[in-house]
Amino acid sequence: MEIIILSVLYLLHVGFVSCGSGTTGYKLLNFAIPDARLLKKSLRFDEDIYLNFTELAHKYKYSTEEHHVATDDGYILTVFRILPKCRNITGYPIILLHGIFDSSDVFILAGPQNGLGYVLTDNCYDVWAANHRGNVYSRKHVALDPNKDSEYWNYSFDEHGVYDLPAVIDYVMNSTGLPKVNYIGHSQGTTDFFTMASLKPDYNAKIQLSVHLAPVVFWKNFGIPVLKFLAPSVNSLKDALDKAGLSEVLAKHQLAHVFMEYSCRFVPNEICGTGLYITTGYKSGTISSRTLSAAGGHLFSGTSTKSLAHLGQLITSQKFQRFDEGTSGNIQRYGTRLPPEYDLSKVTSPVLLMTAQNDYLSPLEDVKELASKLPNLVENVIIPNPTWSHNNHLWGKDVWKFELPKILEYIKYYNS
Ligand SMILES: *[C@@H]1O[C@H](CO)[C@@H](O)[C@H](O)[C@H]1NC(C)=O
Ligand SMILES: *[C@@H]1O[C@H](CO)[C@@H](O)[C@H](O)[C@H]1NC(C)=O
Ligand SMILES: *[C@@H]1O[C@H](CO)[C@@H](O)[C@H](O)[C@H]1NC(C)=O
Ligand SMILES: *[C@@H]1O[C@H](CO)[C@@H](O)[C@H](O)[C@H]1NC(C)=O
């Protein structure tokens, strides 16, 4: 019954949008969907699918603060702080940063037992979950309008590393009055960190320990043939989308997201599980249906075409390098004809890597190469479970068996 109602609404919606706009299919994807919360409630959706960060945390009895941090180039980022319940806050604050297409929500949607954000808070750490520029919580700027100014979307992970992360680190240090922070990133959140620590090496002195879940730096062995095939065309795809005024991709208000939310609600293991398998190597059953369903409602929080193009360039060039703006653009931006590589020997702060054995996006060989280039490697922990892939680090049923104790142990060691 629910499926029928939703399908009808969905078709009506599609029909309405295509007639109403009367232009391309691209416009269709870009149409803003209202948050049909009443409908979802009446259809008895699990709330965790649609509640936002603050609402989720409050539901599970955690207090939060919402902070707004301005970057040097005018973007306004939202950072959620989860307030420790302990009086004796331990060590330095911990900044969390999500991956591409994600948001701060990934760190709590596994619920109070397994969600890393909650677990750290329960252990008396001061947790700050950041959102990079352009996603659903950080779609703001002091001067640019993300809906009108294509300049707003002129960024990739390079800008997350050069502007977003330093702004958040300085803000947290200033707010807490402490001289250092810890950092935990997932997926592109790790790329962002290595970008910052190599291009702004002064920031290494502000990092007590950084932890990298599913580190992504080199793209030499990743296991998605389709992506390999598409990578060389990503630059032209970006140009085409930019020309059509569609430099924002897979945003929360766009149709693709609504599809995820609805389909994952009804057939989590079939549709959402398969999507996750194709893109990350996910093995069915290793994430609970409830978490997978909640994740489906939060995945796709928006990014820029340039972010995708930059990944495509890493795949084609087989190098960890800055964005290729074309010969004249490169000369203007970097003073060289080719984009410079990020110098990992400058990442002098302590780095802990957490690597899964079946992760298509973060294969063992590529992480090994990264580990060999880091001057201050704490350990490259290979999770001793062959079924683990990219998102098990965040949502796996067995995080308490394979991951959380290790993270807590190292954080404690570096913060006491
Ligand atoms: C979360 O949802 C509540 C209720 O709709 C809303 O008041 C609040 O502004 C939202 N917070 C964010 C950061 O979007
Ligand atoms: C902080 O207090 C909690 C109880 O609120 C206690 O369990 C924990 O061991 C204390 N931590 C430290 C580092 O003193
Ligand atoms: C640092 O924090 C103080 C209050 O604690 C605030 O007045 C000041 O504007 C902050 N500075 C920056 C650069 O954020
Ligand atoms: C995007 O930003 C980069 C770096 O600031 C700059 O070199 C480039 O010219 C910009 N591109 C466009 C299309 O504005």
pLDDT tens, residue by residue, 263-273: 666 665 666 77
DSSP H/E element including 363: none
Q: Which domain holds residue 270?
A: 45-414
27 in a domain, yes or no?
Answer: no
Q: Which atom of ligand 2 is nearest to the CA of 90?
A: 13
Q: In angstroms, what is the span from residue 171 Cα to ligand 3's centroid?
A: 8
Ligand at minimal distance from the CA of 416 is 2
Q: Is residue 12 scored above 70 in pLDDT?
A: no
196 in a domain, yes or no?
Answer: yes
**Residue where the block lists tokens 């807590």:** 408
Whole-number percent of the chain with pLDDT over 70: 86
Candidate from 47, 50, 53, 54 with most ligand 1 atoms within 8 A of CB, to mutate = 54
What CA–CA distances, in Å, run from 50 to 101, 119, 181, 308? 16, 22, 31, 26
> Which runs of consecutive H residues, i.e. helices, occur in 268-385?
273-280, 289-298, 305-317, 327-334, 364-373
- Per DSSP bridges, beta strands 303-304 and 248-249 are antiparallel
Mean pLDDT of 287-300: 80
Q: Is residue 29 scored above 60 in pLDDT?
A: no
Ligand at minimal distance from the CA of 156 is 4
Mean pLDDT of 321-340: 96
29 in a domain, yes or no?
Answer: no
408 in a domain, yes or no?
Answer: yes
Domain count, the chain: 1
327 in a domain, yes or no?
Answer: yes
CATH number, domain of 202, equals 3.40.50.1820
33 in a domain, yes or no?
Answer: no
Amino acid at 349: S
284 in a domain, yes or no?
Answer: yes
250 in a domain, yes or no?
Answer: yes
Which residues participate in catalysis according to the annotation? 187, 390
pLDDT tens-digit map of 42-79? 777 788 888 999 999 999 999 999 999 999 999 999 99
